[in-house]
Amino acid sequence: MTTISVIGAGYVGLVTAACFAELGHRVNLLEIDHERLNALERGILPISEPNLPEVWQRNLAEGRIRVTGNYIEGLLNSRFAFIAVGTPSTKNGKPNLKWVRLAVKNIAEAASEPIIAVIKSTVPVGTGDLVARLLTCHGRNGHSFPVVSNPEFLREGLAVFDFMHPNKVLVGASDRNAADAVAELYKPLDAPIIICDNRTAEMSKYVSNVFLATRISFVNEVARLCDEYDVDIIQVAKIVGTDPRFGGGYMSAGLGWGGSCLPKDVKGFIHMAKVRKVNLPLVRAVKRINQQQPGVAVRKLRQLLGSLEGRTIGVLGLSFKPDSDDIREASSIFVIRLLEQQGCRIRAYDPAAMKAVAKILPQVTYCNDAYEVAKGSDALILATEWDEFKELDMTIIYSLMHQPIIIDGRNIYDPEKMSQIGFIYEGMGRHGIREKRAEPVLLSSAQKDMEPLLRNDLVISRESSYKSGS
Ligand SMILES: NC(=O)c1ccc[n+]([C@@H]2O[C@H](COP(=O)([O-])OP(=O)(O)OC[C@H]3O[C@@H](n4cnc5c(N)ncnc54)[C@H](O)[C@@H]3O)[C@@H](O)[C@H]2O)c1
């Protein structure tokens, strides 16, 4: 049994702490946010993540997890300090290392024994070197602090599973002994352990996320073409995904990628390139396509409803992905802002994220379930593919709506079945708005003439939402 300190009780820190404890280690979890710390001390987990409560409670009860806000206490007897603090984007896309710097300073000042600093947070290339310098600069006791880059690849919603069953463990260090010591911790997971230098590990993490974002933006671009050529993107993605050179993952068309990682890491990657005066036209396009996706959905709605002024639109799902309460850069928020700009009233429901969204969008009417959202709505937009939305009784939804229009922003429904019920169904890249379904379209010819102008307007709107600090 080793004593491990984990710095930061967010999605990564909580899962890392719980899972290392589950592997039999003693874990000290350090958190500086008082509200979060108080909640944890009262046994309340501040995030919603499947399977985490069970693992957390079991290890807490068995005395393997201790939560503290005190670095001296939190680092006592620890051999490792895993840094899992946030690295959000600043306005110009630069990753903000304020919390990493603070954690490093605190570690250097508080460590009573030599300790291995392990960077789990996603950080720009060269941060390992910076952390090593900061540790030397702030260290009071003359300890040596090897720095290991051990980026995390877990997915929210599957975080505990991903930690316990990683497809690889990446360990970057210039100090081979430190790298081996960190690798040893992961041995029970039976995953390939890749040892490299710090910079390679840091770059590989960014490239992984940028590549995932690229795949999704690519498939979203293809979906626009599928709409025009009467082809279903789901079938196309399935066929293309059978090729082992590509694989089938991250090929779902929809409202775009969001969350705490892909948007900030794409921006961080572009920023890293800018610093070295390298142009990345492909990655910039990946970002731009994503910014346009909410507008694509709203445009579909406008093609069906005409003016959106005064319309009541229901939004199903608010979190950036199902099984998570995380709303950072969630597509739902961009969609709602666009709809509000067009004069819509919004009704919304999400199983986990309403409290968080209500803080930034207080004017939305929050409902108890999807049926309440549907009541009197002129259209529904499915923004997050929670399982409970797949199991809705759509005939009831149909009967409750003012107009039976559904924009399926995550392509979870069967277009034929939806048409049979009587819905005007629009997916993302699932044949587009067909003439035969266009009967209830209320677009006047004047509005049709305006459509090209409105298109441009919507294309830039996600960019302006970003700029307004969302
Ligand atoms: N969330 C994910 O799915 C995911 C996946 C892989 C990698 N990552 C990366 O991991 C890092 C953490 O992400 P997250 O989503 O867990 O962040 P988060 O914002 O949910 O949590 C960070 C936590 O660290 C705490 N904190 C900040 N500074 C601290 C300090 N000096 N001492 C103690 N606590 C401190 C904050 O109060 C917060 O509770 C980021 O770099 C992120 O890019 C995240």
pLDDT at 442 over 80: no
From atom 28 of ligand 1, which residue's Cα is the shortest distance away?
A: 99
Mean predicted confidence (pLDDT) in 294-312: 96
Q: Domain 262-272+280-467 class? A: alpha beta
The finding on whether 262 has its CB within 6 A of some atom of ligand 1 is: no
Ligand 1: nearest atom to the Cα of 159: 3
Closest residue by Cα to atom 12, ligand 1, is 86
Separation of CA 153 and ligand 1 centre (Å): 13
The finding on whether 124 has its CB within 6 A of some atom of ligand 1 is no
d(CA 360, ligand 1 centre) in Å: 21
Whether the predicted pLDDT of 406 surpasses 60: yes
Among 44, 67, 149, 152, the mutation site with the greatest number of ligand 1 atoms within 8 A of its Cβ is 152
Q: Residue 87 Cα, ligand 1 centroid: separation in angstroms?
A: 7
| Closest ligand 1 atom number to CA of residue 36 | 39
Pair type for strands 80-83 and 26-30: unpaired
Distance 222 CA to ligand 1 centre (A): 34
Contact indicator for 38, 60 with CB cutoff of 8 Å: no
Q: What residue owns the CA closest to ligand 1's atom 21?
A: 10
Return the pLDDT at 366: 98
Average pLDDT, the chain: 92
Strands 379-382 and 312-316: parallel
Q: Is pLDDT of 140 > 90?
A: no
CB of 109 closer than 6 A to ligand 1?
no
pLDDT for position 434: 58
* pLDDT surpasses 50 at 413: yes
Note the pLDDT tens digit of each residue in 195-239: 999 999 999 999 999 999 999 999 999 999 999 999 999 999 999
Nearest residue to 88 via CA among 209, 263, 207, 247: 263
CATH class of the domain at 3-196: alpha beta
Residues classed as catalytic: 261
Residue 232 is predicted with a pLDDT of 96
Q: With a 6 A CB cut-off, is 85 part of the ligand 1 pocket? A: yes
Query: Does 453 or 324 have the greater pLDDT score?
Result: 324
Q: Say yes or no: CB of residue 16 within 6 Å of ligand 1.
A: no
Paired with 65 in beta bridges are 27
User: CA of 281: how far to CAs of 149, 213, 234, in Å?
Assistant: 28, 14, 28
Q: Does 454 have pLDDT greater than 70?
A: no
Q: What is the rounded end-to-end Cα distance, in angstroms, of the chain?
A: 43
- How far apart (Å, rounded) are the C-alpha atoms in residues 389 and 348? 13
Nearest residue by C-alpha to atom 15 in ligand 1:
11
Protein residue with its CA nearest to atom 10 in ligand 1: 121
Q: Are 408 and 382 in contact (CB under 8 A)?
A: yes
Ligand 1 within 6 A of 232 CB? no
pLDDT interval class at 139 (50, 70, 90): confident
Mean pLDDT of 275-302: 97
Largest pairwise CA distance in the chain: 77
pLDDT tens for residues 160-174? 999 999 999 999 999
24-80 residue pLDDT tens: 999 999 999 999 999 999 999 999 999 999 999 999 999 999 999 999 999 999 999
For residues 399-409, give the mean pLDDT. 97
8 CB within 6 A, ligand 1: yes
Give CA separation, 408 vs 88, 142, 316, 440, in Å.
30, 59, 10, 18
- Residue 381 CB less than 6 A away from ligand 1: no
CB 224 within 8 A of CB 398: no
Mean pLDDT of 155-184: 97
- Ligand 1 lined by 152 (C-beta under 6 Å): yes
Is the pLDDT at 463 greater than 70, yes or no? no
Mean pLDDT lowest among 21-30, 93-102, 138-147, 429-438: 429-438
**Ligand 1 close to Cβ of residue 32 (< 6 A):** yes
Whole-number Å distance, alpha carbon 148 to ligand 1 midpoint, is 17
Report yes or no: 51 and 27 within 8 Å, Cβ to Cβ: no
The lowest-confidence range among 107-116, 122-131, 351-360 is: 107-116
Best residue for ligand 1 mutational test, from 260, 324, 329 (most atoms within 8 Å of Cβ): 260
Burial class (CB in 10 A: 0-12, 13-18, 19+), 415: buried
Atom number of ligand 1 nearest to Cα 33: 37
Residue 449 pLDDT greater than 80, yes or no: no
Which residues of the chain form CATH 3.40.50.720?
3-196, 262-272+280-467
CB atoms within 10 A of CB 369: 12
Q: Please, which residues bridge with residue 313 across strands?
A: 346, 379
State the closest ligand 1 atom to the C-alpha of 12, by its place in the atom list counted from 1. Answer: 16
The 3 state secondary structure assigned to 77-120 is: CCCEEEECCCCCECCCCCECCHHHHHHHHHHHHHCCCCCEEEEC
Residues 188-200, mean pLDDT to the nearest whole number: 97
Give dist(CA 104, CA 118) in Å, integer. Answer: 10
